[in-house]
Each structure stands twice: as structure tokens, then as C-alpha cells.
Chains A and B, each alone.
Chain A
Amino acid sequence: MAQPAPPTFEPIGIGEESRPPLAVTPNPASLFRDRAERFRALAEGHQMKPYLLFLAGLSQAQHATQGNLSPAAPPEAEDVRRAAEFGMPPIARERFEPDTAVAETLDRFFDLAAAVEAPEAASAALARLASRDSDRRRELLFAALADAPSADALSEHVFVSAALQVHFARLAATLDAGKLVPVADGACPACGGPPVTSSVVGWPSAHGARFCACSLCATRWHVVRVKCVLCSSTKGISYGEIEGVLDSIKAETCTECRGYLKILYEVKGPSLDPVADDVASLGLDMLVREAGWRRGSVNPYLVGF
């Protein structure tokens, strides 16, 4: 007699399931335009209004730089495959070799940035950048890639970093997000860089999951919540917020490494931008640092802070 088929058990949907992808590559066509808008919206009535408006202008320049710019050359498929095999980032900044597309991006961005209303010091820095020979520019470029500006070139660092953000966001956009692999704790799977902030996102496919945003290439990558992004400890995590003011931005502090990274609750405020809101919530940094925590993120617009 034939045996009855074994029973099969199908999962029963009891709600909207979140299956967050490992990484989401940026969309440079809207990234900087949206950021500029966010900067402008934040500037209204803000103590940092002049600076936020200046950064809105810079972001708009980042957006405009891309218009009819020759496309960024994607890395070789073989290199991407090998990088994935060994858990390395495919567009690693350590191995970055600037090509003509980078030079073109930098030139165009500096030109456009010069039109942004800015104090004397900023315009002077741009003028210095425009006239600087390629060796000096290369030096600044690698300092920006290492997030290690020299103290006498902080203003140049801001502009060079912003230009590189454009180039790397375009590079990252050429990657297949599905083929990226985790590379290290607190490192971007596309370029290996540190995060600027992390966000609890409200995306339909990943509602309530936390994604870090890369400070350079704007790739977002998934990191388990209630875990230190900087040292991966799950012990001693707590969240600092400005009492009674901001509950959509908190500082995730870790007693193991004494560092903190801001966490933006996009589920509460969908317009939060990883970079713009990091700058605009500088007050939170001041309070958290006063309490003895070290800022663990990188944002060229807040360098030196």
C-alpha cells in the first residue's frame, strides 16, 4: 500500500516580514539633490543656519556636477568577484587610483562650489584648490580618502571630500548590491569606509531594520540593532537623546569601546538624511561628548569636531 505523503508545513504569514538586504547601493541621481533639500529644510530657524545653507549649496553642487559627466568606470568584474571571495570591498579606497574621471569630477565640483555663497575663508580655499598643481591635489585626495586631513588644510578637505563623495557614489552605483559581502565590523561593504550615521529605516522590505550609511560612497549596509557598530559589542549599549527635544535622533553609546554613533529613526521621521541630520544634530554630539563618549563616525562637514 502506498504510504501517504509526509505532511508539509508552510509558514503562515502573521504580518509584514522584513528581510533586509545586506547592502543597498546609492542612487546618485537623487541622493545629493534630496540632501540639499533636507539641508535647506533644516536651516530654517536653526542656530547653524548659515553653515547648513552653505552645505545645501555644496550638496546642490554635488548634484549638478554629475550632469553630462562621463560615466564612472565600474571596477573589473574579475576584481569584484575576487574581492567578494576574500571578503574585501570591491572599490576599496586604499587601492584607489585617480583617473581622468576623478579629475573631471573634482574640477567641475570646484567650479560649481565657487558659486555657492560662502565666507571669505571658504572661497579662498576653493581658489587655492583650483590653482593647485596635481601633486598637491593628489596629496589632499589621499588625505581625504584616509579621513586624515592635515590641520592646515581643513577647508580644502571639506571640498575634496565632497567631490570624492560624488565620484564614489557613482562608482558604488555601478555595483550589484546582491554581490557585496560583509568585509569587517563597521566598514562599508563597497568601499571599506567608516559610517557617518546609522538609521532605523522604514523601507517596505526592511521595516525597522538598521542600516549604516557610508561616509564616502553613501552605500547603506545592514547592521543588527542594539549592537555597537564600531566594536560589535552587544554589552552596555544605551541611547542618549536630548531630553524632550529630539527623539528621532539618538546617540548609540557603547561601554566596551566608549564610542558612539548616531542612530536616526527614519521610521519616525522619513525625511531624515544620514549626512544632513548628522550635521544639524551637532548639539547632541556636544552633550554626548560632555558625558565622555568618543564620536565614532566620520563626516567631512564636521571634521575636527
Chain B
Amino acid sequence: MLGEVSRRQFLKGAGASVAGSAMGALGFMGVEEAVAASIRPFKLANTTETRNTCPYCSVGCGIIMYSESSKADGKRKIMHIEGDVDHPTNRGTLCPKGAALLDFVNAPTRTKYPMHRAPGAKEFKRVSWEFALDRIAQLMKEDRDRNFVAKNKDGVTVNRWTTTGFLAASATTNETAFATYKVVRSAGMLVFDNQARV
């Protein structure tokens, strides 16, 4: 295949089969050395560009996120986000929310952990996932035990639970959506929606 040929050409072009350089052969002495000397004080900085999907809505626009190591603590930090030109959905465009993703990512008020505001309390406080899931399950179970309708007034089995609703987000995979549906419907919940623009 042509690709193979090209690959071989790359290797040759990369200096595997030649000695010396064009500059030297043409008589430009000292040019390479000058360049080598000029870059000595500099370091190679490493940045990345990563493809991802905008998390906002169900359109699922492609984005490219640029990141580099922070000088302060060496952690990678996203410094720019733009629409992915090669993505068939948005072809490089982003809506105002997508275009503001960088502020979303680096927002100081961004929710990173489960937070809990106890009844009567003024502040949210950070809790463990264990606590959060137990708490939600407990409240759901209590409500379901109280309000579950097994049969309607004509005695027909309906298994409804209408006092709790479920709002899922759109930025999910098919598998997540499938699992969500199974859990919610098996519990008898009728009020169930996927919010396309959370």
C-alpha cells in the first residue's frame, strides 16, 4: 500500500539513510550550531488537546479542550475550550453556554462533592457519597411506603407511585439511560423525564 511506502519515505527523510544536512552541504556553516545555542536556555512545554462532548444538553456538541501543566502546582489545567470542527453535530460551532464552558469548568462555586443542607440549616455541608445515597434511598422509601398505589378504585392492579418524580440529565450514555429507566419504572414512578438542557 501507498501508506507503507510513505512510511518508509518518512524514515529516510528523517535522516536514517543520509549523513550530514542540507545546510552543511550547501556551505552554511555554523547555522545549526547557532540555533542549537539559542534554544539551550529554553524548555519544551507540553500541552494537550483533548476531544470531548459538551455536557450541557442532548445535542452533544463536540469540543476540544486545551490543557497545560500549571506553573504553580504542576497540575494539568484547562486553559481553553473550543468547538470541534471535525464533529458532525456542531462543526466547530458552540452555543453561548458551550462557549462559556471554561468558566463552568474552573468555577469556584462548581459542585464537586455531594452536599447536604439539613432541614433548618443555613449552609450546605460536604457529605460522603455513602451518606448521600443512603439519605436519598431512605427518603424515597419512606415516601413510597406511604403513597404507593397498588390498585385503583376499581380494583385493577396499577402499582403507581405518583408522589415522587425523577428528572434525569441528558448527557448520558444509552446504557445509563437504560439503567435509569429500569430503576425508575420498576419503582412505579410515573413522573419521569430527561431534561435536555440542564
Contact = CB atoms under 8 A, between A and B. Distances in A.
A242 interface: yes
A131 B102 CA distance: 63
B46 A238 contact: yes
Contact of A154 (B12, B20, B90): B20
B85 A207 contact: yes
B26 A119 contact: yes
A147 B11 CA distance: 10
Given A151-B17, A208-B82, A241-B45, 6 more contacts: A17-B93, A47-B34, A119-B27, A186-B3, A225-B84, A297-B13
- Chain A CB count within 10 A is highest, among B12, B18, B23, B86, for B23
Given A226-B49, A305-B21, A148 B10 contact: no
A244 B187 CA distance: 58
B28 A54 contact: yes
B9 A122 contact: no
Contacts of B26: 51, 54, 118-119, 121-122, 125, 154-155, 158
Q: For chain A, what secondary structure do more than half of its interface residues adopt (helix, strand, loop), or is it mixed?
A: loop
Interface of A: 14-20, 47-48, 50-51, 54, 88-89, 94, 118-122, 125, 146-151, 154-155, 157-158, 183-187, 192-194, 206-210, 224-226, 230, 234, 237-245, 250, 259, 282-283, 286-288, 290-291, 294-298, 300-305
Q: For chain B, what secondary structure do more than half of its interface residues adopt (helix, strand, loop), or is it mixed?
A: mixed
Given A187-B6, A242-B45, A18 B31 contact: no
Given A119-B26, A238-B48, A302-B22, A192 B42 contact: no
A303 B3 contact: no
27 contacts: A15-B94, A19-B91, A47-B31, A118-B26, A125-B26, A151-B19, A154-B18, A154-B26, A194-B9, A194-B13, A208-B83, A225-B49, A226-B64, A230-B7, A239-B46, A240-B47, A241-B45, A243-B44, A250-B47, A287-B42, A288-B44, A291-B44, A296-B10, A296-B14, A301-B22, A303-B22, A304-B15
Interface string B81-107: 011111000111111000000000000
Given A54-B26, A193-B6, A208-B92, A282 B42 contact: no
Nearest to A224: B86
A296 B29 CA distance: 25
B31 A50 contact: yes
B35 A283 contact: yes
B179 interface: no
Given A208-B82, A243-B43, A147 B12 contact: yes
